[in-house]
Amino acid sequence: MKPYPGENHPYLATYLSGFILALILTVLAFGLVGFEAGVCLKSICIVPGKLLFGGETIRKIPHWFIVSGIFALAVLQILVHLRYFLHLGFTSRGRWNTLAILFTLLIITFMVGGTLWIMHDLSEQMYSPDLSRDSL
């Protein structure tokens, strides 16, 4: 595949740096999940929510911090994939592709959010104590 005139061809270094970043983010996310579940490696033990080194507790991390860390790592993972593998950026050519993907994400968010909103509203109306068969 030949690049367009005046366009640089993506080099192997771009893919390798993206792969290494994605791998680091994945290992960090698995580490947070392992930290929450409890893992032991030689003399370092991670019991749920605590880091033990030689039987002594070093730190207790709250659950909300682990969940928000996993969410932040997921967002970073998406950005790494978009930048290094799909080559989306804010150059003149990539800007339109990026805007198209952002618009698609907005539409999907509206559709999923609206669906959940309607389902929640119907669920509340269905199980409402104010509604009884005698009033029908």
Question: What is the per-residue pLDDT across 68-79, written as a single tens digit (0 to 9) for each?
Answer: 989 999 999 998
Contact 45, 52 (CB under 8 A): yes
Mean pLDDT of the chain: 77
Please state the pTM of the whole predicted model: 0.59
pLDDT of residue 14: 86
pLDDT of residue 75: 92
pLDDT at 4 over 70: no
What is the spatial order of strands in the sheet that 39-41 belongs to?
39-41, 44-47, 50-53, 56-60
Backbone angles phi, psi at 66, to 5 degrees: -70, -45
**For 89-122, what is each residue's pLDDT tens digit?**
767 777 788 788 889 999 999 999 999 999 999 9
